[in-house]
Each structure stands twice: as structure tokens, then as C-alpha cells.
Structure 1
Amino acid sequence: MPLPETPVGGCEGDAALVEVAWSSIRHGLRYGVPLEVRPFHFESPLQELRASFVTLRIGDKLRGCTGTLEAVRPLVVDVAENAFASAFRDPRFAPLAHDELATLDLHISILDSPERLAVDSEEELLRALRPGRDGLILEEGVRRATFLPAVWDQLPAPRDFVWHLKQKAGLTPDYWSPSLRLFRYAVREIEGGGLGDTQTARALS
């Protein structure tokens, strides 16, 4: 029998999002589908249409990262879906196994609305970027890729950041075209910790 559609725990705000994310992963391990969430069971800010990413790590290694760039569903639903997708549908990794759950760390990024960057060259783009702060979306025809602001930790030089994003989109590092569309966005970060953390463990009990 599936778990309840809304996790029990009485959490609000960020704690509720963390609870929902962990519950959706646990639900996925048991039933193979995301947790179904009824947005009206949560406070108003979590019912707003927002885009999010959920990042999973084991130690210092990425274990899954999936999200949305457009705000098309309530935030609490988006987090539940993306937590499940990061654990079980990221094509770079095998689906999460039961014995990995206890070692998993979870991180939620809530995206602001993207801002179009009116730049005519890569040099203008590099000057416009705010290292450590900006997420970046690159679009060229059907190709699309993004880096969250956290990627600046691995690629602190703006040129490296942009070149690797081009490669992620299937373009060459030196590619530039007038049809290239670029957007930046800020995020609000929520550290979900691991299941061993006291607050998270209590929320899921």
C-alpha cells in the first residue's frame, strides 16, 4: 500500500521541503514512483509555482542532480518530483540502492526567474557573469544546458565555466553564434543534510 500523499511531521518552510524530498526518495525505494504531494496541505509559499533542483551526494561525489528551469508546478511538488528523479532517473547513474540511503546527502536549490543576458560576444558574457552567484542557462536551437551556481566551486574561472557549459550542451568550447541565448539566475540554497542528521531524522520519523 502506498505511503500517505503528504508526509507527516508538521514541518514548515525549508524543513517541510527537506522532509518532502527525503520522503519522495524513500517512497521511490519502496514503490518505484515519486511521492504524490497535495500542495494545499502546505503553507502558501510552498504552493507557489517555482523551479528547483535537487542534488544528491555521497561524500564529495555527485550521486544525482535533476531539476526544472521553468516554474510550471507548485514548489513542494517540484521538489518531490526532482528528489525522486535525482535518485532514480539521472541517466549518469544507476538507480539509488537501499544500502546507499544512509550515506546520502541532499541539497535543494530554488531558482529565481531567469534573466536574459543581452551580450554580443563571449567577452561580454564573461564580464557580465558574477562568479559564485550566477547560474547560467545556454540555449542554441534544440540544445540546452545549465550550470547551477554551485558549479563555480569546481570551475571558478568564468571562461572555464562557460566553456564547460558549452560542452555540456554539445557545442565546442569556442562556439559562438548570434542565435545563442543566455540567461542567468540566482538560487536560494537549502542544505538537507543526510538521514543521520537529527533534524531530518526527526522529520521523517
Structure 2
Amino acid sequence: MKLNADQKNEVFSLVKQTILYGLSGEPPLEVTSDDEALNQPGACFVTLTLNKQLRGCIGSLQAHEPLIQDIANNAFKAAFQDPRFPPLTEDESEELDIEISILTTPEPMMGCESKQALLEQLVPFEDGLVLSDERHRATYLPSVWKQLPDKEAFVDSLMLKAGMSHWSGTMQCERYYVEAYEAFWSDIE
């Protein structure tokens, strides 16, 4: 889904409001929008960076609630429940860069019987990737290509993230795309 200017303003205002509520001890907001497109089922990731360093990133791979609610929930979780980081503080919030990535539905990739076969299909800076094998599963958004532009390094790092030590014959690969939007905390109304 591509957002128009009004929709972008609405979702970034919602992210800021959600984080401010969280900083005051309030739970995630229950929200709806006057814009029916934002009330349709959707999946997103909310990524918070501070001084160009990851500060929180949580999201949904599958649409399971209205997009507007998914944005609110993931903003709250990225700020306060990402297990890699302590909860966000008020001082940090003033310097946040926020990215909202709206995902297409992940689609299975055929011909992933080997890592080499997957590497031949990947499109850097465009593909989001989900790798799963039995109980191991992890994803990288297309934005991760900025840090890992080499296809093999991208896949190896994702496997490590998922706790996979080697490629297996039961590996499943899914590809998705995103529409990503970015705003600085101080620029959000």
C-alpha cells in the first residue's frame, strides 16, 4: 500500500503519540482511522534509530489486524518491548528517526534447495526475505541491504539471526516487498 501525504501524517502522528503514551506508562492505543484504507488489514514493521544506530524494530509479517492498529502496536513494541534493547527513554525520543515499512504478503520462493539457488534469485535493496526451517525463523527488511549489500553476507547473517548453522533440505524461503516511509521525531506534528 502506498500512503498519500495525509495518510503519512496520520501514521507518523500516531507513532509519536503511541510512544509518548508509552513513556507516561500507558499501554498501546486502540485506534481506528477516518481513512478507510488505513482500517484495512495490513502488516508493517516500525524501526526506530538513534544516531543512525538501531534502537528498536518490531513488526508483523502477515496482516492480522487493521494496518493503523498494527502500526500503533508495533511502534509501542519497538520502543518498549524489543528484547535487544532497554525500554526507550524520554531523552532518547527527541532524537529518534522513525521508519514505517508496509509489507506485501510474503510469497514462497521456488528453487531454494540450496543457498546458491536462493542467492541467484535475490534482488538486493528490493527483496525482504524470510528464512524458516523447523522451529527457526527470521526476516530481514529490504533496508538491511544498506548494512549488508553482499547477497551471501545478507543470507548468512539472516541464518545466524534465525539460529541456523547450515543450509538444510527443508529450508523455506519467502520474499516480500515494502513501501517504506521515514520521519524525524522533531518533524512530526
Match of 2:161 in 1: 168
Q: Distance in 2 between matches of 1:182 and 1:140?
A: 9
User: 2:134 maps to what in 1?
Assistant: 141
Q: Which amino acid aligns with 2:87?
A: P
Pick aligned residue for 1:114 from 106, 111, 128? 106
For 2:11, give the aligned amino acid.
L
Task: Tell me the amino acid that sits aligned with residue 125 of structure 2.
Answer: G
**2: CA distance, partners of 1:69 / 1:106:** 19
Q: How many residues align?
A: 184
Determine the structure 1 residue equivalent to 2:42: 50
Aligned: 1:35 with 2:29: yes
- Following TM superposition, the consecutive aligned residue runs of length 4 or more in structure 1 with deviations greater than 4 angstroms are none
Answering whether residue 27 of structure 2 is matched by residue 13 of structure 1, we say no
Larger Rg: 1
Corresponding residue to 1:101 among 84, 93, 98: 93
- Measured on the aligned residues, the alpha-carbon RMSD in Å equals 1.1
**Could you list the per-position Cα deviations for residues 66-103 of structure 1 after superposition, in whole angstroms to 9, with x for gaps in the alignment?**
00111001000000000000000001110011111111
Q: How does 1:55-204 map to 2 (within 5 A)?
A: 55-119=47-111, 120-172=113-165, 175-194=166-185, 196-197=186-187, 200=188, 203=189
TM-score by length of 2: 0.94
Cα deviation digits, residues 133-162 of structure 1 (max 9, x gap): 000001111111000000000100100000
Unpaired runs of 5+ residues, structure 1, are: 1-10
- How far residue 12 of structure 1 moved from its aligned partner, in angstroms, is 3.0
AA at the equivalent of 2:172: R
Q: Is the 8 A contact 2:119 2:152 kept in 1?
A: yes
Report SS of the residue matched to 1:31. Answer: coil
